[in-house]
Amino acid sequence: MTGKTHAAVGICGAAFLLVPKVDIKTALVGLGFCIIGSYATDADLKVSKAGHVFSDAIYAGVILTALYLILTLKMHYNVSALVGKDMPSQLKITGALLIVGSIIIGRITGHRKYMHSLIGFFVMNLGVGLIAGSFVIWFGLGYALHMIVDLLNEKPEALLFPLNAGDICFHVASSDGILNWVLVAGGYVGFIYKITSIYNLSYLHSIFIR
Ligand SMILES: [Zn+2]
């Protein structure tokens, strides 16, 4: 599955499970974390081995930049002051080390090994939680949905890494096959449906367009 598929599924899940519980500014920051989480699982991919990683990185960068600009310029929201404002700097450094360490281990052990395992999930979320506080819930949702969607794929996921016993996949979809596009389309349709049922259209228009 490509990063775009994971991002679509991630924001759809967040729209149904998390967006209804918070105000719109928190939701926008949270969706940013959800997108980062949905991409982070594949930080074990080597760019040279997967041509789509580069275009995925640009795609994610554009969306995250747009979210940031809307929040700061249009909504006058101080994103960096809000994210992890209660976390002491020692904990943030520890969190950053856990994340960097995880990505290094993920790249050494290979694609769909450590980063796609339960222990990788736990350590990455611990790291993000130490930096971003409660926004880790959004990150974790994106990360978890990525691992679930990858199970549909043909390449086994080492869920119980370092044990081989947990290597599973359901062989129902190739990464660029029809189910991939169903997930992308379904993700965006579900997201837009849920968002427009939470906020009315003229309100969204006043924030994003006008
Ligand atoms: Zn993956």
d(C-alpha 110, C-alpha 94), whole Å = 24
What is the rounded CA–CA span in Å between residue 152 and residue 123? 24
Q: What is the pLDDT of residues 113-139, one digit of tens each?
A: 999 999 999 999 999 999 999 999 999
**Cα(67) to centroid of ligand 1, in Å?**
24
Of 181 and 175, more confident: 181
Nearest to 124 by CA among 148, 145, 143, 146: 143
Give the Å distance between the CA of 40 and the centre of ligand 1. Answer: 9
CA–CA distance from 111 to each of 10, 60, 125, 155, 184 (Å)?
A: 20, 20, 19, 9, 22
d(CA 124, CA 115) in angstroms, rounded, equals 8
How many angstroms is it from 119 CA to the middle of ligand 1? 15
Rounded to the nearest angstrom, the distance between the alpha carbon of 45 and the centre of ligand 1 is 8
Distance from Cα 27 to the centre of ligand 1, integer Å: 25
Q: How far away, in angstroms, is 18 Cα from ligand 1 center?
A: 22
Ligand 1 centroid from CA 29, angstroms: 23
In angstroms, the CA 104 to CA 99 distance is 9
Distance separating alpha carbons of residues 115 and 121, to the nearest angstrom: 7
pLDDT at 154: 75
Compute the distance between CA of residue 28 and CA of residue 162 in angstroms, rounded to an integer.
36
Q: Report the predicted TM-score, pTM, of the whole model to 2 decimal places.
A: 0.91
| Ligand 1 centroid from CA 116, angstroms | 7
The percent of residues above 90 in pLDDT, for the chain, comes to 57
204 Cα: distance to centroid of ligand 1 (angstroms): 32
Distance 42 CA to ligand 1 centre (A): 5
Q: Taking Cα atoms as reference points, which of 73, 81, 82 lies closest to residue 27? A: 82
**What gap in Å lies between CA 179 and CA 140, rounded to an integer?**
24
What b/e sequence results for 166-191 when a residue is b if at least 16 CB atoms lie within 10 Å of its CB, and e otherwise? ebebeeebebeeebbeebbeebbebb
For residue 35, name the pLDDT band (cuts at 50, 70, 90).
very high
Instruction: Give residue 202 CA to ligand 1 midpoint distance, Å.
Output: 37
- What torsion do the CA atoms of 65, 5, 3, 48 make, to the nearest 10 degrees? -140
Question: Token pair for residue 122?
Answer: 């736990």
Distance between Cα 113 and ligand 1 center (Å): 10
**pLDDT tens, residue by residue, 138-169:** 999 999 999 999 998 878 888 888 888 778 77
Percentage of residues in the chain with pLDDT exceeding 70?
Answer: 94
Asked if 31 contacts 23 with a C-beta cutoff of 8 angstroms, the reply is no
Ligand 1 centre and the CA of 152: distance in Å?
A: 11
